[in-house]
Amino acid sequence: MASKRIHLVTAGIAGWALVLSVLWLLQGPAQPARAADYCVSSYASIQQAIGAAGNGDTVRVPTGLYTETLEITQSITLQGGWNSGCSVLLTKNPAQTVIDGGGAGSVVRIVSASPTLEAVTIQGGQSDYGAGVYSWYSSPTLAGVIVTGNTLSDTAFETAGAGIYQYFGTLTLGSTQIVGNTPDSHPSSAAFGGGIHIGYGGGVIMTATEVVSNIGDLADDVRGGGIFINSGSTIDLRGTENVIAYNVATYGGGIYMSGNTDLIGALVVHNYANGYGGGVAIYPGEGGVFANNVITGNGAYNRGSGIVLINAAVEVANNTFFDNGGNAGTGIEIGDTGTRVVTITNNVVVSHVVGIRNLHATVSPTLVTNDVWSNGTNYVGLAAGASDLHVDPLFVAPASGDYHLAVGSPLINAGSPVPWLSFDFEGDDREYDCDTDIGADEFTAERYCYPVYLPLLLRSF
């Protein structure tokens, strides 16, 4: 009897195996569980909905004003713009879904996660680090987000990132505005980064992002009104619609770069520094590159209206410096470089009180095929480079912000090779005309397909 029972069980198992095999063939392999959607309306707060969600899930936030601070430790999507029942996505306008921190710390803290934030406004934060968004060992994505009205505390010895603080990991920004944040500093120390602070080991990828009107108190020590880029960090600007404009700081009104960092392809316009570096300040710098940038309309009270380089060994190549003013009125200014040498190649430096000024008594920069023209004084503290030009660059329409080279510009094919720079500020191949042009733009027939470079959004500020 025992052997018979064994035979029957064995036969049963074989039969079920056959059934399961048929079902697998009909239905295919088992599918992973679908990511869940969590509606904030079903919870007491956004934070409670976040707590219920797991990696890959989406937290849907109905339009409205929410006064709370959030902590995100999962790789979720937080999406604003939904109706009250979260059944219909009403809008992708971030102004319709507002998260206000009420001055109670960072509005959004992200720790060891890679979340995506979409269609929300982040405002009303106050903190020592990352008053709007604090990202620690994380790689968040902000898509269609406004970060505004956040303030660094002036009671801490050091503060950083009124809008966003990124430390280790990569922050990705797309169609995002970092606008109107306030970097205050302790009387005995400094604040770093009014809009964005990229800390050591951190990186930022920016596409169609505006860092605008982040304004520090000129009585404070604020470094990097728009962006502070720390040593060991990276910034990757993609496309032609990234704008750093109307920011104010003590040093580096638009951007402050510290250490070995690169900046390629930025539009830095109408920023102001009460000290030095109206558009950009680099101090110190060792081995970085500054290329394909358009620096125009910036001002500084003390030194370097366009850019100032102090204790720096940086390659400054194929940039356009136009009409940077203020009390300083200089396009490019070189301070104490120790034994380091700044290399300045293929730049356009036009319409300044002083085109290029060297304040270092013993070390002079290397100048190669720059167009230095129509400045009150073209050079102070150094001689013109042997291959420098002094001609009208013939921009298409500088008064309306179009700094492309016009047909017949003497800068076309007039530059020197820069082997590591194979493209211009729009991504055009610099070998298109066989020889490199001078300035941020490489003339091509296709340039007529591009819009005016200075975005129309600036006209509203």
- pLDDT (0 to 100) of residue 454: 54
> Under DSSP, is residue 113 helix (H, G, I), strand (E, B) or coil?
coil
- pLDDT (0 to 100) of residue 447: 47
Query: What's the pTM?
Result: 0.89
- pLDDT (0 to 100) of residue 357: 96
- Name the phi and psi angles at 16, rounded to 5: -65, -35
| CA nearest neighbour of 415 among 394, 442, 395, 396 | 442
Q: List, in sequence order, every residue forming a beta bridge with 397; answer none if it has no partner.
A: 402
Strand 116-118 vs strand 141-143: parallel, antiparallel, or unpaired? parallel
Of 21-30, 209-218, 353-362, which gets the smallest average pLDDT?
A: 21-30
Compute the average pLDDT of residues 362-385.
94
- For 142, the enclosing helix (H) or strand (E) is strand 141-143
- pLDDT (0 to 100) of residue 1: 39
- Answer whether 250's CB lies under 8 Å from 225's CB: no
Domain edges within the chain: 37-395
- pLDDT (0 to 100) of residue 158: 86
Residue 460 has pLDDT above 70, yes or no: no
Report residue 123 as tokens. 């405002």
Cis peptide before 183 (omega within 30 of 0): no
Residue 23 has pLDDT above 60, yes or no: no
| CA nearest neighbour of 185 among 215, 159, 149, 150 | 159
Report residue 378 as tokens. 């073209």
Residue 376 has pLDDT above 60, yes or no: yes
> Mind listing the pLDDT tens digit for each residue in 164-178?
999 999 999 999 999
Domain over 37-395 is classified CATH 2.160.20: yes
User: Mean pLDDT in the chain?
Assistant: 88
> Mind listing the pLDDT tens digit for each residue in 230-243?
988 999 999 889 99
Confidence of residue 455 (pLDDT cuts 50, 70, 90): low
Compute the average pLDDT of residues 402-420.
95
Residue 73 has pLDDT above 60, yes or no: yes
Compute the average pLDDT of residues 326-330.
94
Among residues of the chain, what percentage have pLDDT more than 90? Answer: 75
Compute the average pLDDT of residues 50-75.
98
Report residue 80 as tokens. 């604003």
Pick 186 or 303 by higher pLDDT: 303
Q: Is the dihedral of CA 15, 18, 24, 30 positive or negative?
A: positive
Residue 3 has pLDDT above 60, yes or no: no
Of 37-46, 232-241, 449-458, which gets the smallest average pLDDT?
A: 449-458
- For 2, the enclosing helix (H) or strand (E) is helix 2-27
For residues 389, 252, 453, 172, the Cα torsion angle rounded to the nearest 10 degrees is: 130
Cα–Cα–Cα angle for 257, 253, 197, nearest 5°? 50
Compute the average pLDDT of residues 139-159.
92
- pLDDT (0 to 100) of residue 434: 59
- pLDDT (0 to 100) of residue 185: 74
Q: List, in sequence order, every residue forming a beta bridge with 89; answer none if it has no partner.
A: 82
Identity of the amino acid at 430? R
| CA nearest neighbour of 268 among 307, 220, 215, 233 | 307
Q: Which residues contact 137 (CB under 8 A, 6 or more apart)?
A: 111, 112, 167, 168, 169
